[in-house]
A and B are shown apart, each in its own frame.
Chain A
Amino acid sequence: MRELLIGIELLSGLALIVAVLLHSPKGEGLGSIGGQARMFNNPYKELEAPLNRITYGLATIFMVAATVLGLFF
């Protein structure tokens, strides 16, 4: 059981890294001058909906696996 969970955490972690990097950069990071956010435009919003769902899913799996591991093992 423990090995399975560790495997899940590792795989989802690696996939999460890839998924986040696949996203188009949002805003301009912390580098955006003056640290202001751009609240109004993002042309890629529609295109990224499936990727968003995948990322949310992976993030959830990763965090849940880590939580269970931390709590019970």
Chain B
Amino acid sequence: MESILTLFRVPELRKRFMFTLAMIGVYRLGSHIPISGVDLQALQGLFNQGGLLGFVDLFSGGALGRFSIFALGILPFINASIIMQMLTFIWPKLKELAEEGASGHKQISQYTRYLTVILAFIQGIVMSIGFRNFVLPDVHFVFFVFYAVVGLVAGSVLVMWLSEIMTENGIGNGASLLIFVGIISQLPFFIKNTVVLLSGGASRVGVIAMVVVLLVMIVSIVFMQEAQRRVQVQYAKRVIGRKMYGGQNTYIPLKLIQGGVLPIIFASALMQFPLVISEYSGVQVLKDFFSTYYRYDGVLYNGVLCFLIFFFTYFYTAISFNPKDLADNIKKHGGFILGVRPGRPTEEYIEKIVTRLTLVGASFLAFVALVPTIASNVTQVTSFQGLGGTAMLIIVGVALDFVKQVETFLLNRRYEGLIE
């Protein structure tokens, strides 16, 4: 409660918060503006069948089901980010650029933005051709495709820009906040569906059990996201002039889940890929295959999901955490980990710890992603099925990020006060 008040008391923070809210408003507004020329009622029918296409819709905050200008939403940007990060690993030229520091990173993010436009263009074409059955009869089809693609790409670029200026002038990471808002905006429908299910004679115990499971999950996600392993570091004493420095014990906090929400966002973004392709391509064999095997409660879907979560968690830890730098830094400042020699042995020691931590972290993430599916199968309460564990992880993770950012900001401000 106290911290909510400070959000409004500090002028700079208030300004940033208001900006974030305003941009979220624009985003929600835009996701209700349709691209004209489509039979919206028929389209809604398709999405209300639920299933996996519903999940894609969930990610865009319902914008897809309305065929709005933001129907592609933030996804092309996320996919472009994934691809660029992978390429940085594989392509030597990009790797060089990444190691150049801030200016190289800038260049890479500029490439990411170009790639976003290209991806949005491809997705836009596929999508508007895929919706050919829903185009109003008096609209010329070729013209519709052209018009819709321009609208979709412009919308997607606009969303990308919104997320960028949110990151810059607001609080928190714009892109993940927009996904967060999209998921939150669909929550009322899940609650409504549950109520419908209840009045239709579903067991009360089942619903209560489901809600309890979800709550326990939220708590455990918060707990695990904050968890860290503290590695003790001993610093040597140094005498400079008449003063003595150092000589104290400190620790390095190693987070259990280094990448935060990003691995989950990446994994679930990638999960939608084969689905979108099969749905829009209109090839019946593909469609049949996916609707039989690639289901929420199917083994294949959940297996792939687990694999991707593991992959991205490790991938993210690998790029965001460099044991060599850490070991060098400790050595430079005259410190050492108790019982381990400085330099290479320290590096190996830290790497071993991080690898183990990531294994635990990734297992936890995969577990959480599976629990709602299992729970809804056991309790027969299917109304939360679209929400899934990944969506919960994203919601909680983004909220935590947001709070942390506010705290960092306040801390920064307090130190500024000390200097003045």
Contacts and interface: CB of A to CB of B under 8 A. Distances in A.
A33 B173 CA distance: 11
Given A31-B108, A39-B405, A67-B33, A14 B154 contact: yes
Nearest to A70: B34
A36 B154 CA distance: 26
Interface string B31-74: 00111100000000000000000000000000000000100000
A34 B259 contact: yes
Interface size class of B (residues with CB under 8 A): 35 or more
B173 A32 contact: yes
A26 B154 contact: no
A30 B33 contact: no
A67 B153 CA distance: 17
Interface string B154-193: 1101101101110110011111100000000000000000
Nearest to A17: B157
A61 B262 CA distance: 33
Nearest to B319: A33
Contacts of A16: 154, 157-158
A42 B168 contact: yes
A35 interface: yes
Interface size class of A (residues with CB under 8 A): 35 or more
Contact of A36 (B109, B168, B405): B405
B190 to A, nearest CB: 25
Interface in B336-362: none
Interface string A61-73: 0110011011001
Most buried by B among A23, A28, A30, A42: A30
B81 A30 contact: yes
A6 to B, nearest CB: 7
B253 to A, nearest CB: 13
Given A21-B113, A36-B405, A66-B69, A14 B36 contact: no
Contacts of B105: 28
Given A14-B150, A21-B114, A29-B113, A39 B409 contact: yes
A17 B154 contact: yes
Contacts of B85: 31
B113 A37 contact: no
B354 to A, nearest CB: 14
Contact of A23 (B161, B258, B262): B161
B117 interface: yes
Contacts of B84: 31
Contacts of A33: 319-320
Interface string B79-121: 0110011000000000000000000011011101110010000
Nearest to A64: B33
B36 A70 contact: yes
A25 interface: yes
Interface in B116-148: 117, 147
B182 to A, nearest CB: 14
Given A35-B401, A37-B405, A63-B30, A28 B109 contact: yes
23 contacts: A9-B150, A13-B150, A14-B154, A17-B153, A25-B109, A27-B167, A27-B174, A28-B106, A28-B108, A29-B113, A30-B77, A30-B173, A32-B173, A34-B259, A35-B173, A37-B167, A37-B171, A37-B173, A39-B409, A40-B412, A62-B158, A63-B26, A66-B33
Given A9-B151, A27-B167, A31-B81, 20 more contacts: A10-B150, A13-B154, A16-B154, A17-B117, A20-B157, A20-B160, A28-B108, A29-B77, A29-B80, A29-B81, A30-B78, A38-B167, A59-B158, A59-B161, A62-B69, A62-B154, A63-B69, A67-B33, A70-B34, A73-B36
A-B pairs, top 10 by smallest CB distance, nearest first, are A13-B154, A25-B109, A26-B164, A27-B167, A30-B81, A33-B320, A70-B34, A37-B167, A30-B175, A20-B161
